[in-house]
Amino acid sequence: MKRIGLLTSGGDCQALNAAMRGVVKGMSESTSELEVYGFLNGYKGLIYGNYKLLTSADFSGILTKGGTIIGSSRQPFKLMRTPDEKGLDKVEAMKQNYYKLNLDCLVILGGNGTQKTANLLREEGLHIIHLPKTIDNDIYGTDVTFGFQSAINIACDAIDCIHTTAASHDRVFIVEVMGHKVGWLTLYAGMASGADIILLPEIPYDIDKVIDGIEKRKAAGKGFTILAVAEGAISKKDAKLSKKELKKKMEQYKYPSVSYEIADLINKKTGIEVRVTVPGHTQRGGSPCPYDRVLCTRLGAEAARSIMDEEYGCMIAMVNGKVKRVPLGEVAGKLKMVNPDSQIIKQAKYVGISFGD
């Protein structure tokens, strides 16, 4: 008998169900005796013992279903060692619930914060496998995370739609793209949809250079400009501030987000009216794209093989087109950021895309 637990933590994405399906189908092909427990609403379920026994019927028809059938929530890693309001030791509670069910392995699907807690549980002696989920694509040690391509498609569609109205009215539009502290999603969606200016957290922008890009297009007879702006984009001026100084500035911040600040600065300096569009959480929603469905099936199958091989404490990663088992201790807590000197950035600049630097 094999007993495994499944847990999805952090922000959701389109392909969580597809990944869990891959794990369970892979396990079902390997053993006829299998029990699968789903912990509800992320680490909360593991902490407070909220779980349910899942059957094969639960994993039927979910390959194309977005979200997660067992729910998710955010549990900050930095608070995991802090007792809850009733004094409960969260780490000890998670361990007790793991042992209570006599689990062979706990498969955890999530992003960076989720991964750090997964590694903590590994260090505490639990058998853990991590599957890298995030639309941000910022997990170190894997070339791609599931959810990323699906989010690219949605962000790209949003920018494509803005193109027609921007061209019709000769307007400047900003489309704000998710991505937390990194610019992968904005970079790929911006390039794929023909954005003229792409602003990323990794490449601090100069607002005057951004305006130069707009004016250059106008001089060339192109009346509209599309800016793809990452939610974590930062100016060169702000990038020089200390964490304390930046925090103080943000406490007095009057804009809903950086895109509105950029729009206001462009308007004040040039008189040009700028419209802002924020697709927001639509980028997490809907069905997973075909690429993510295949990726999750492959990752899930390898997770199942790893369990059968009794090789734990790893992240199932995609490296150079191949699925690999990467030790959790080597990657947990590390962030994969866009390299400003990378080939893709140089190629984008070569075709005329401005990064405001």
Task: Tell me which fold the domain 2-147+288-331 belongs to.
Answer: Rossmann fold (3.40.50)
Decide: 201 and 232 in contact? Cβ < 8 Å: yes
Which regions of the chain are under pLDDT 70? none
Q: Which string of DSSP letters, residue by residue, matches 77-140?
A: GGGTTS--TT---HHHHHHHHHHHTT-SEEEEEE-HHHHHHHHHHHHTT--EEEEEB-TT--BT
Task: Give the domain ranges of the chain.
Answer: 2-147+288-331, 151-284
pLDDT of residue 36: 97
- Of 3.30.70.20, 1.10.10.10, 3.40.50.460, 2.60.40.10, which CATH number belongs to 151-284? 3.40.50.460
Which residues are catalytically annotated?
A: 136
pLDDT on residue 241: 85
Residue 242: predicted pLDDT = 85
What is the distance between the alpha carbons of residues 334 and 336, in angstroms, rounded to a whole number? Answer: 7
pLDDT of amino acid 245: 82
pLDDT at 252: 82
Alpha helices (H) in the chain, listed in sequence order: 16-30, 43-48, 90-100, 112-123, 148-169, 184-192, 207-219, 236-239, 243-251, 258-270, 290-308, 328-331, 343-350
Does 2-147+288-331 match 151-284 in CATH topology? yes
Predicted confidence at residue 52, as pLDDT, reads: 96
Q: For residue 303, what pLDDT is reported?
A: 97
Residue 256 has a pLDDT of 92
For residue 251, the model assigns a pLDDT of: 82
Residue 307: both structure tokens together? 């369990």
Nearest to 132 by CA among 312, 295, 344, 321: 295
